[in-house]
Amino acid sequence: MQEIELPAGKRRRSTAGRRRGGRGGREAGFWRRHGFLRRSALALVVLVLAGCAGLGTGFIVLAAFQVGLPSVVDLPNLGPPQNSYLLASDGTLLTVLHEPGEQHIHVGLPQVSPWVIKATVAVEDRHFFQDAGSVDLPRIILAGLHDIVHHNSLQGASTITEQLAKVSFLTPAQTITRKIRELLLGFEISKTFKPDQILQMYLNRIDYGNQAIGIGTAAELYFHIPASKLDLAQASMLAGIPDAPSAFDPLAYVGVKGPNYAKLRQQVVLEAMVANHYVTQSQANAAFKEQLTYYPWQDSSPLLAPNFVTYVESELQQRFGDAYLNPGGWTIYTTLNMADQQAAEQTIQNPANNARLLREYKIGDSALVSLDPRDGEILAMVGTSNYNGSVGQINMTVEPRRPGSSFKIFTYTAAIASGKFTMTTPVLDAPININGYQPQNYEHYFSGICQVQVCLGNSINIPAVKVEMITGLQNVVAMAQRMGASLLLNPQNTYGDALTLGGLSIGVTELQMATGASVLASGGVLHQPTSILKVVQGGKTIYQYNVASNSVQVVPPDVAFIMNAMLSNNNNRLRDFGPYAHLTLPGRPVSAKTGTSDAQFANGAYSNNIEDNWTFGWTPQLVTGVWVGNPDGQTLSNVTSGISGAAPLWQSYMEQVLSGQPVLWYTKPADVVQAGSGPYPYYYLPNTVSYANQDVNCPPAYRSGWNGTC
């Protein structure tokens, strides 16, 4: 039987696969250019070795070639890394994780179709079941000599056992030394393992092209079926691929006119099966005529929620290194809620709405992250409004940005916790100058005296700076760090008195800000965000998320309750946001805070060059943050604010996700003092009621400098 003559650039396989851990170089010298001479020389060497071995005098010669040969004892443990599977919380497959360019699904020989075994043995090593178990060295060497001299298409250049040695231990370099080592390793393998063991390892390690390592992977990638279900036509097609995976790639000929080398190779396999009496000629003819449907390998590796997937991989790396890729074989259950994720994608990746945002506000991108504040689980993550866009690979939920006034969440939490302020402490909103620092309000006007809750609700800047200064800048920083703004620990992330207005050199991430909000939503408990619930390997759970070990009380419950009371009272926002702002949810109380960062932020002065705006809002069961802006720093329109940019997206998502869920709110802690009744009473920490409506806690130095009123 003749070899298939391949066109230039589609040369036959020089190796049955690839050695794990690296690829050797190719010999481009004399022996490689003169294949006939190389094979003749190798044949001569093998004949000498065969004769020596047969006479019992060649062991010294053989020993020289055996120097440095690896032990075959660990051969079963040298298989390729297995695919790992990333699942949403409901079991939906998000993606398949694997080493770059290689996928592998391990299967036992009983799980392989008998047609695959027959086709493989027929075309690769028709004497396999007679020779594989032999421990007769001369017979093994003579078999190798036969392969060298009779290099034909019925039987490849190496036996299956030799190919297993090559793919597991050796480089692809075509040298006499490498071939002899291959023969010797094949001999050792045949002594150590049974034929079925050898064949199973071989079928799991051979390259079937298109990233498919092993027959289990090939069956899934090409036909979307398990290896056990492959019929004669499918098996004979796959068995022919390893001889030259690029040339015999069946996907390369779908819809293409001209010679179909994959089909011709299948015919060779079927003829070999007929010659070995595995099938009749009529069976072979029927299999050859069968129309096969192939699937691109990408179809077997979906990529849902791509920004979340990338985030999970980073968390896997931090926890486990690259073990999820090598050796792999993990099933990873994540926290992603598919319904929430789909709602997030519909909200953030709506082409018509995004076109409007770009047209009206020059908003080119947006991002959303949603957490369960009760345990820190990430329920939804959309890092961009267009994943396939020019900047779509950037996950904006974890990119540092200046948070604007959303940082006031930390400032006012620290202020209430300090006991220096209550929700009704009056603060004067008027021009100030603190050692040259002259902050300005976003609205460019001053409103006079306002209670702390109203100053916070309307996000007025000058009162926020006063509250920060009196509370103590470092106390605010410490509170922000405790609540999850860990980027403040970066020494390059410099800040000053403008910190409460988001004045950071680097910024913080949307996920960190959402984490801070979740502390208030959970009654003061910090749950670091998590994306991984459970990891299973080989039927054994090797990791299980434990919420108890990820729960730290970082804000007193009474302080968190008062912050939620202030941020959920829409009356506190009426001046600047109006009665029907996008910071409310129909029939449900909700806390919310916006933020807007200025591209030219300096000494608290706004230039109206808006770069980012944010909205964070929460209920006891859900925290969501939305960012809008441009990753490249292009500024937004002058009228853009959190309420006009991010808030409508936040509101739309929250309404969808919370629909049908119970309306929950917080129970007043026993130590919180309530003054008044109705829907919005005043709440105070113990021992602060006596000065609740006075400025007695304002230091004299600040009184005189600030017109006598905090």
pLDDT digits over 321-354, tens only? 999 999 999 999 999 999 999 999 999 999 999 9
CATH H superfamily, domain 398-530+551-621+640-705: DD-peptidase/beta-lactamase superfamily (3.40.710.10)
Q: Hey, CA dihedral for 651, 656, 657, 658, is it positive or negative?
A: positive
Helix (H, G, I), strand (E, B) or coil at 553: strand
pLDDT at residue 320, rounded to an integer: 96
Q: Residue 310's Cα: distance from chain center in Å?
A: 2
pLDDT at residue 221, rounded to an integer: 95
| Strand (E) or helix (H) holding 38 | helix 35-55
Do residues 87 and 333 make contact, with C-beta atoms less than 8 angstroms apart?
yes
Average pLDDT of the residues in 537-550: 96
Average pLDDT of the residues in 117-141: 74
Whether pLDDT at 427 is above 80:
yes
DSSP-derived pairing of the beta strands 84-87 and 330-334? parallel
Higher pLDDT, 1 or 503: 503
Which tens digits make up the pLDDT trace of 511-520? Answer: 999 999 999 9
> What would the two tokens of residue 531 be?
């994306």
| Residue 5 CB partners (closer than 8 Å, separation 6+) | none
pLDDT at residue 638, rounded to an integer: 66
Ramachandran class of 368: left when φ > 0, alpha when ψ lies in -120 to 50, beta otherwise: beta
Compute the distance between CA of residue 280 and CA of residue 289 in angstroms, rounded to an integer. Answer: 14
Whether pLDDT at 19 is above 50:
no
Compute the distance between CA of residue 62 and CA of residue 67 in angstroms, rounded to an integer. Answer: 9
Q: Which long-range contacts (CB under 8 A, 24 or more apart) does 556-559 make?
A: 556/417, 556/524, 557/523, 557/524, 557/669, 558/669, 558/671, 558/672, 558/685, 559/413, 559/416, 559/417, 559/524, 559/685
Do residues 245 and 13 make contact, with C-beta atoms less than 8 angstroms apart?
yes
Compute the distance between CA of residue 361 and CA of residue 640 in angstroms, rounded to an integer. Answer: 6
Q: At 505, phi and psi to the nearest 5?
A: -70, -35
Burial class (CB in 10 A: 0-12, 13-18, 19+), 196: middle
In 503-634, beta strands by DSSP E: 525-526, 532-537, 540-544, 552-553, 591-598, 610-619, 622-629
- In DSSP terms, 591 is beta-bridged to 618
pLDDT at residue 426, rounded to an integer: 87
- Residue 373's alpha-carbon distances to 53, 140, 521, in angstroms, are 74, 66, 6
Taking alpha carbons only, the member of 481, 517, 479, 511 closest to residue 622 is 517
The conformation of residue 83, written as its DSSP 8-state character, comes to P
> What would the two tokens of residue 205 be?
């390690």
How big is the chain, counted in residues? 710
Compute the distance between CA of residue 222 and CA of residue 293 in angstroms, rounded to an integer. Answer: 8
Q: At 60, phi and psi to the nearest 5?
A: -65, -40
pLDDT at residue 600, rounded to an integer: 55
pLDDT at residue 602, rounded to an integer: 44
Domain positions in the chain = 30-79+104-206+236-270, 398-530+551-621+640-705
Compute the distance between CA of residue 640 and CA of residue 657 in angstroms, rounded to an integer. Answer: 26
DSSP-derived pairing of the beta strands 365-372 and 377-382? antiparallel
> What would the two tokens of residue 651 be?
């509101």
Transcribe 398-412 into DSSP letters. SS-B--GGGGHHHHH
Whether pLDDT at 388 is above 60:
yes
Instruction: List b or e across 639-674, with b for residues whose CB sees 16 or more CB atoms inside 10 angstroms.
Output: ebbbbbbbbbbbbbbbeebbeeeeeeebeebeebbe
Average pLDDT of the residues in 282-311: 94
Confidence of residue 65 (pLDDT cuts 50, 70, 90): low
Average pLDDT of the residues in 607-621: 88
pLDDT at residue 171, rounded to an integer: 78
> What would the two tokens of residue 262 be?
């994959």
Q: Residue 705's Cα: distance from chain center in Å?
A: 53
Do residues 251 and 263 make contact, with C-beta atoms less than 8 angstroms apart?
no
Transcribe 121-178 into DSSP letters. HHHH-TTHHHHTT---HHHHHHHHHHHHHS--SSS-SS-HHHHHHHHHH--S---HHH
Alpha helices, DSSP H only, in 193-231? 195-205, 215-218
pLDDT at residue 701, rounded to an integer: 47
Q: What is the CA radius of gyration of the chain?
A: 35
Q: What is the pTM of this model?
A: 0.86
Lowest mean pLDDT among 3-17, 192-206, 290-304, 397-411: 3-17
For the CA atoms of 363, 488, 625, 600, what is the dihedral angle to 10 degrees?
-20
Cα of first residue to Cα of last residue in the chain, in angstroms, is 97
Taking alpha carbons only, the member of 230, 219, 227, 236 closest to residue 276 is 236
Compute the distance between CA of residue 424 and CA of residue 680 in angstroms, rounded to an integer. Answer: 12
Compute the distance between CA of residue 223 and CA of residue 210 in angstroms, rounded to an integer. Answer: 13
DSSP-derived pairing of the beta strands 610-619 and 591-598? antiparallel
Average pLDDT of the residues in 155-177: 79
| Residue 111 CB partners (closer than 8 Å, separation 6+) | 216, 226, 227, 228
Alpha helices, DSSP H only, in 231-305? 232-240, 261-275, 281-289
Whether pLDDT at 238 is above 50:
yes
Lowest mean pLDDT among 40-49, 406-415, 459-468: 40-49
Confidence of residue 21 (pLDDT cuts 50, 70, 90): very low
Which tens digits make up the pLDDT trace of 479-504? Answer: 999 999 999 999 999 999 999 999 99
Write down the residue that tokens 């093998």 correspond to: 46
Average pLDDT of the residues in 254-268: 93
Fold held by 30-79+104-206+236-270:
Penicillin binding protein transpeptidase fold (1.10.3810)
Instruction: List b or e across 410-430, with b for residues whose CB sees 16 or more CB atoms inside 10 angstroms.
Output: bbbbbbbbbbbbbbbbbbbbe
Do residues 98 and 104 make contact, with C-beta atoms less than 8 angstroms apart?
yes
Whether pLDDT at 255 is above 60:
yes
Whether pLDDT at 607 is above 80:
no
Whether pLDDT at 24 is above 50:
no
pLDDT at residue 504, rounded to an integer: 93
pLDDT at residue 13, rounded to an integer: 54
CA atoms within 13 A on the CB side of 570: 14
For the ranges 112-116, 360-364, 418-422, the maximum mean pLDDT occurs at 112-116
Whether pLDDT at 61 is above 60:
no
pLDDT at residue 37, rounded to an integer: 55
Which tens digits make up the pLDDT trace of 76-108? Answer: 999 999 999 999 999 999 999 999 999 999 999
Average pLDDT score over the chain: 86
For the ranges 158-167, 172-181, 528-537, the maximum mean pLDDT occurs at 528-537
Amino acid at 640: T
pLDDT at residue 40, rounded to an integer: 59
Average pLDDT of the residues in 181-205: 93
Instruction: Say whether the peptide bond before residue 100 is cis (omega within 30 degrees of 0).
Output: no
